[in-house]
Every structure is written in structure tokens, then in C-alpha cells.
Structure 1
């Protein structure tokens, strides 16, 4: 008898079965034991045979999930330690500041000035201008929300199924905003004797704010296609009109038409007790006026920058890169 007898070996027991697509069947002993997978013996619950690449991908995903849980736990522990140190030092943390912000509502404010934005111009705007108008609504709300003395803010003519309403609805939770949203127009909501419609074309100058008045800002983004429309509509209804005292305090080099956000923030700062000149210099884009007080003249009169800045009714394009310019990314503006 030979010392090394030949042993017949079935080659099928050594080679994995292949279906021609580089898919293999793995024996139970070869199944990885590190992270748990939703497959057994290289097969899914449906009995599908997985490729080696797919199995590696699933293993990697399972391992990543386990590491993510550990990482999040470590981050929570770091936050707790950081907050504990802040408490020892008497530092107010973000959670406490957020609670203070939530408690800072219009009904608790000592500011009695009321401002309503009139969005009764849905049919006059293009879809892209509706979107810009909606972004300005978001910015106005944010400015008021973060103020120490929020104004009584109203959005009017937000009708059901209107384009401005549909655009506003894209902001999750807008119904919980600290702002009064009305379907009715402003003239059906407020005493007519208290209404003051703001328009850059008005001959009346607004030198001080009346807490018993309701100041209306036109919510129209039209890029000067409907010049003087807000003044015309207000005068037809017999309402008082006024313009901001821009030229009385600074030398303008462009037309005195502003965005919804600019007009609102000016009213907000003045209602907080700040002087006109300081407020205008702080809020308006720098290129709207000359620091040396000289007015820019041209044969055709003052010019308005032709840019993509969103504008209000009688508030036309203003300078790009202003302190209040809205970025295209929706995440640049946070709401509370």
C-alpha cells in the first residue's frame, strides 16, 4: 500500500458557485461576525445572492452605524461637561437664551407701534418675485422676533390658495410664528382713521411714530413696473399716506425706494427710541448715500441699481451686498 494514497476531492466543494455575475455563495463558517447584517450566507431575506462588493458595502454601513452611536454619545457627554462649566462660571447657555427668546413675544412687548404688510398684489408679481417676497416676510419676522421690543406685526391679504400663501407655506411651522396672519385686507381689519400707508411718493413726511397708528408697508416686488401704485390705492380709499424722512437726514444718491425689510427695520429701530440719522446710516446700504453728504446728480436724475435685490411695492431695487441682503441659500436665515 502506498504511504500517500490519493484522495479524491470534489472540486465543487472548494470553489464557490458562480452565476456568471461575480456573485458567490458564502458558507456559514465564512460569514463575517463583526457587525450584524440583514443577510445570511451571502443572501438577503428575499433569497437574493449578494455580490462581494455589496456585502462589503453592507458591512461598512453597519460598522459606521455602530461608530455613529458611540460618537454621538461622546458628543453629548462633551456638551454636558461644557454646560456644567458654564453654569459654574455663571455663563448663560444657548438653551437659556432660547427660552428667553421664546418668551419675547409681541403681547409681552412694551412697543405699542403696529405695522402691517399689505400682500394684496399677488396678481402683479412673477413667480420668482413671489418667492423673493416670501423670503422678505421671513426676514421681517426674524428681525422682529429678535428685537428686545417687538412691534405689533401683521401680514394681511394672505388668501387661501394664493401664490404668496403657497410660497409662505414652504416655511415649516410658519403658522406658529409670532405674527398675526390675516386673509382679509388691512382696510377691513383696522380703524380707517389709524391707517397710514407708507409710500416713497407721498408728500407727507413721517417725523415720528404714533403708537395709535397702523403703518402699512406695501408687499409688492415689482422692480419699478408699478411705480406709485401703493400711493394711488391708498388715496383712492381716502387713507393717510407718508414717506420716511430719508432726504431730511442723509444725502441720498439713488431714488428713495427701499425693500420691505429695510422699511420695517427702520420703523423697528425708531420705535425702540433710536434717532433717525443713526438708524438710516445703520440700516441702509452704503451705496444708497454718500458719506461726505454730496448728492449724486445725472442728466436723467437719480438712478436705481439694477440688481436682483428684492423690493417692496414702492420700494425698488437697492444695493447688493447690503447688511440686510438675502442670500440664495434658505439656511442663512434662522427662525425661532
Structure 2
């Protein structure tokens, strides 16, 4: 018999008039009965769940829908061209690209605001200089300022630099972006050079052209550069025509020599005084040279009415010797066809002028800029020093340690004649040779 605690309430029930038997109810006993009812309910739920699970297991697998019908589809921007899901890294890159594209208009607005603010600052500075001053300021303004030397007129020379871009299928997306930047730099360097060359981009197509048409759409307004669909052989043949266009005083509409094709000035001035018969022979002897480090021939000078081809390839040096093989195959094909086109190969004379300490890669725009510098000074060593990045390290051979008493800086770099020599390019074996066929400089 269960004892009743004095803490538990006891209720008394009976007839209203008090005649019936009285009964005591224990609250604890009532709660105990409620607990038994609850446990019975739990056992009922477990049995019902087990029945549902048995019913589900009894469904044949063939009747179940495929996972693709149940899972939510991925967004279309996270699928490749074949409809397969992208990896996490690829999806992340694509997401960043879409974010960058979505903010294009905002960047344009910011650039315009910066340009406007810069113009306002210049205008305010000119007004401040024009206002008359007093005292010391007036005296300082009356002091004669040295006159700025007027910029020299850029001279067009009869020589062509041709960038061969027929390597689109060998490059990754990021490498095509690098090549597009290098082509842009080639255009900028040639436009700002004192002595300009004819610049042409051949085999211009594929995804490289898609990038120019999309991101770099302003290239259609570039002046002094040609974008051609033809390969480098046909483009080089066409270059012979535009280099000799209006190349004499009687041919030019304004009476100036080389208005279109180019003038024999600068490093080419030594050819200006030769007879007309010799000039005709010089035009006919114009060369077509494909620059590649694998060539057994070394380029000693640039010649007028000649075309120099630079391989437009950024491949981190994966495709070794591809430009040399491409040039030799084209030369053999021209010989088989019996054409007069003679394609030669050569390498820049880095090994003759620079001492290199490691194997480096020279970018396409660096090859272009080195030849532009040579057109200005006629010295390969000076051209190499002005163009090749400092981080590549190196020095001219006639400025080696111990020869001219060069000093050594704290970082161990040898300095000769009071200036640090820069170097770069690709070193082919024991001899440093220029790579015109590949190369993004990382």
C-alpha cells in the first residue's frame, strides 16, 4: 500500500449531502497514471514509424526518381559549355569575373570623375599662376623660367614588327589575357617611340579576338597598327607593299620622303644618300626574319624594308622550339611552291652583350621594345639595359666584376660605371639568347 506524503494534496469526494462513502484521491497516483498513458502513446508512435519505414523499404528502386529530378539545378553560369558542373575554383573565378563585369559602368563613372577633378586642378593652377602677385611672389613670378624643349616629331621608319598570334589553341584563358596586355603594350610603346615601326598583328582570331572585341573594344580606334586575319607569311608579303608606299619625294603627295612607307632617318640615315638604283636594290633585298631563340643565326642589326616576326605566345615555356619549327615549316613550304618569299630565323644578341645568371623568359612586348630602342640608339647593349626588368638581374659583359673596378652594392649586385645593369630574356643552354616566342614574365 502506497504511503501518502503530507506534501501531496488529498481531495475528498462523496455525496453532496454527506451520506455516501468518502474517498480520498492521491495526486501522485493520478500523475503516475498519466505517465503510464504517455509511455503507452510513445510506444504507439514508435510502432507507427516502424510501419512507415517498412512501407518505404518495400518500394522498388526502379520506381524511385533520379537524383537530378530531386536536386535543385545549378545556375547556368556555374556550368561549362557541355553542361557539366564547374569545380569550386572555376566557379569562384567565374563568380569574380561576373562581379567585375557587373561593376564596369561604375568604374567608368569613377574614371570620368577622376579626369574631371584632374582638369579642375590644372585649371585652378593655371589661374593661380596667371594672377599677379605682390612682393616676393611677384618677384618670383618675374624670374624667367627655363623654356621646355618642344617634343620631337615621331619619325616613321620603313621597317615592320609583326606579332604572330596563331597560337590561340595552345594558351589558357589567363595566358590569353597576358598576351592581350602585351599586345596593348606593344602598340603603346611604338606609338610613343621617337622612331616608329609599322606594327601588325596577324592570325588575329579565336578567343584572343573575342577578348579584344569584348573587354578591349577600343582597339578599333588605334592608329598605326594593323590587325590581320592572314598568317605571318601573307602578312609579311603585304608588309613589303606598305613599307615602300610613297617612299620617294615624287611619290609623296606633300613632297616629303617616306610619308607613308617610312623615312630613312635615325639608324637608317646611312642609306639616305645612296643612289636611287641602290635604294631599289635595298627594297628588293628586304628580309623576313622570325625571331626565335632556337635559331643558329644571331641578329646583328635591323635593316630597312624588312619584317621581323615576334611569336605572340604566352605558355610558361611549355611549347619549346615551336616558333623555330613553325618558321622552318613555312620556309620549306614556300620553297616547294617556288615563291620568292624567303623566311629566315634569328635570335637577339643577348649572349653577346649580357652575362646572365639564370634562365629567364622574355615577354613579347619586351622584344618589341628592345628593337624600338635599337632604332633610337643603334646599340644592343643600351637597348637591353633600358628594357629588360631589374628583377631579372645581369650585367653587360664589358662591365664585369674586376674589369672596370665596379663596386658591389649591399645586396650583392655588381655595379659598373656607376649604374646597375638590368638583364632578362631566356638563356638557352650556355649562351643567353632572346626568346621572342614565349613568354609571360611572372
Same fold (TM over 0.5): yes
How many angstroms apart in 1 are the aligned matches of 2:120 and 2:387? 43
Q: Name the residue aligned to 2:313.
A: 220
Find the aligned partners of 2:176 and 2:170 in 1 and give their Cα distance: 9
Q: Of the candidates 215, 218, 223, which is equivalent to residue 173 of structure 1? A: 218
- 1:172-214 deviation digits (Å, cap 9, x = unpaired): 4211112111111121122397310000111100000011210
TM-score (normalizing by structure 1) = 0.58
Answer yes or no: is the 8 Å Cα contact 1:199–1:230 preserved in 2.
Answer: yes
The match for 1:3 is none
User: How far apart, CA to CA, are the structure 1 residues paired with 2:119 and 2:349?
Assistant: 56
Higher alpha-carbon Rg: 2
CA 231–89 in structure 1, closer or farther in 2 if over 3 Å, else same: same
Q: Is 1:151 the equivalent of 2:197?
A: yes
Shift of 1:273: 2.8
Instruction: Find the aligned partners of 1:224 and 1:286 in 2 and give their Cα distance.
Output: 21
Unmatched tracts of structure 1, length 5 or more: 1-70, 305-310, 321-336
Matches within 5 A, 1:185-196: 185-191=231-237, 194-196=287-289
How many positions carry a matched residue from both structures?
A: 225
Matched, 1:141 2:264: no
**Deviation digits for residues 290-326 of structure 1, max 9, x if unmatched?**
336489xxxx967x9xxxxxx97633454x5xxxxxx
Deviates more, 1:140-149 or 1:164-173: 164-173
Partner of residue 235, structure 1: 328
- 1:248 is paired with a residue whose SS is helix
TM normalised by structure 2 equals 0.45
Aligned-residue Cα RMSD (Å) equals 3.6
Is 1:257–1:314's contact at 8 Å kept on the other side of the alignment?
A: no
User: Residue in 2 aligned with 1:197?
Assistant: 290
Instruction: Judge conservation of contact 2:313–2:439 (CA < 8 Å) in 1.
Output: no
User: Is the contact made by 1:111 and 1:272 (CA closer than 8 Å) also made in structure 2?
Assistant: no
Hey, what's the Cα distance between the residues in 2 that align with 1:176 and 1:84? 37
Counterpart CA distance in 2 for 1:190 and 1:117 is 11
Which structure has the highest strand share of the two? Answer: 2
1:164 corresponds, among 162, 183, 208, to 208
TM-superposed CA distance for 1:287, in Å, is: 4.7
Q: Give yes or no for the alignment of 1:267 onto 2:371.
A: yes
Q: How far apart, CA to CA, are the structure 2 residues paired with 1:247 and 1:90?
A: 43
In the aligned structure 1, how far is the partner of 2:118 from the partner of 2:169? 49
Q: Could you list the per-position Cα deviations for residues 202-242 of structure 1 after superposition, in whole angstroms to 9, with x for gaps in the alignment?
A: 11000000112100000000011101000000001112000
Highest RCO, 1 vs 2 (Cα 8 Å, sep ≥ 6): 1
Deviation at 1:256, TM superposition (A): 6.0
Whichever structure has more helix as a proportion of its residues is 2
Match for residue 39 of structure 1? none
Query: Is 1:290–2:394 an aligned residue pair?
Result: yes
Structure 1 residue 279 and structure 2 residue 383: aligned? yes
- Is the contact made by 2:371 and 2:383 (CA closer than 8 Å) also made in structure 1? no
Residues 87-110 of structure 1 show CA distances to partners (whole Å, capped at 9, x for unaligned) of: x968679xxx9xx79x85xxxx24
